[in-house]
Amino acid sequence: MSIPSTPLPTPTLGPPSTLSFTVFSQTHVNASPGTCLQTILDVDKYSLWNRFVPSVTIESHPPTTSEADTSHYGHGTLQTGSKFTFHVNMDAAQAGMTAEESGRRSLRATPEEVTFLGEVTPDPGSAVDAVFDKVMSASKATDAQSHPSVQTRLRVCWSHRPTHTLPSFLLRSERIQEFRLVESEDRSKSLAGCDYVTWETFYGILAPVVRLAVGEKLKRCFEVWGEDLKGRAERVEGGLA
């Protein structure tokens, strides 16, 4: 869990520049990829578990979203093309902080848009897919008694929306979150959970300034997000939430 020395590519923004930097985190979650992904998409419930982002405002869903889809998923569920604002607590890692307490802090607004949501089948020639494979091959997050059962992953990506005061040439970023199912080699157990990998790469003239100002805080906040997601998804899957 760190800021890699070499910035990582993203699906929409592509290869990083010499000014770019990446914040990265990974963990193993004892819950299915679907449960983890739905936990992330259901932003109305962030106040119950997410210390880093205790509040989200959805501005709009894509025009192609039907009333039936909105009724099924709920207005508070992210979809491809959803535009929303995260209300971020950069001090989420403080000792004793809870999601409820985090929501009472002075929060920073960051406008975002979902750029991709769905299943992906890894492409060996893709630089983005290579990140996941490299991470998991060297990772100790997955128990030695388990192994990836399938290559298909669930992925959600969102990117920072430019504003009049912060146009894209000054700063832009994209965050990727991926989940891959892991099955236990013990046949009596059908599921060993999933591997969760996330990274966000920052581009633009101000990227080095952001890294210097809040890079270390962002790294810890990503770790907090992973810890909180793990706790929430495991409770949901266990019927405790």
| Tens of pLDDT, residues 97-134 | 999 999 999 999 999 999 999 999 877 777 777 776 67
Q: Taking a C-beta distance cutoff of 8 angstroms, is the pair 25, 226 a contact?
A: yes
The DSSP bridge pattern shows strands 146-148 and 194-203 to be unpaired
Over the range 17-32, which residues count as b (16 or more CB within 10 Å of their CB) and which as e?
eebbbbbbbbbbbebb
Q: Taking a C-beta distance cutoff of 8 angstroms, is the pair 40, 85 a contact?
A: no
The CA distance from 206 to 168, in Å, is: 10
Q: What is the mean pLDDT of the chain?
A: 87
- What are the extents of the domains in the chain? 21-46+117-237
Q: Taking residues 173-189, report their average pLDDT.
A: 80
Q: Taking a C-beta distance cutoff of 8 angstroms, is the pair 84, 110 a contact?
A: no
**pLDDT at residue 145 greater than cutoff 50:** no
The position carrying tokens 């099924």 is: 72
* pTM for this prediction: 0.87
Q: Taking residues 7-28, report their average pLDDT.
A: 94
What pLDDT does residue 183 have? 74
Q: Which three-class secondary structure state does DSSP give residue 199?
A: strand
Confidence of residue 66 (pLDDT cuts 50, 70, 90): low
Residues in the chain: 241
Fold designation for 21-46+117-237:
Alpha-D-Glucose-1,6-Bisphosphate; Chain A, domain 4 (3.30.530)
